[in-house]
Amino acid sequence: MSRSMPDWRRLLLTGAAGEIGSVLRPALRGAAPHLRLQDIRPIADLGEGEEAMQGDLAEPGVAEAAMEGVDCVLHLAGIPRETGGTPEQILHANVLGCHAVFEAARKAGVRRLIFASSNHVIGFHPADRPVGTTEPPRPSGLYGASKVWGEALGRLYADKHGIEVACLRIGAFRARPGNARELGGWISHRDMAQLARRCVEAPPFHFLVLYGVSANRRALWGGDEAARAHLGYVPQDDAEAYAAEIEGIAPEPGSVASRFHGGSVCALGFSGDPDRIS
Full DSSP string of 78-145: S--SGGGS-HHHHIIIIIIHHHHHHHHHHHHT--EEEEEEEGGGGTTSBTTS-B-SSSPP--SSHHHH
* pTM score over 0.85: yes
DSSP conformational letter for 51: E
- Residues with catalytic function: 143
- Residue 185 banded pLDDT, cuts 50, 70, 90: very high
Q: How far apart are CA 87 and CA 135, in angstroms?
A: 26
Reported as a single tens digit per residue, the pLDDT across 46-98 is 999 999 999 999 999 999 999 999 999 999 999 999 999 999 999 999 999 99
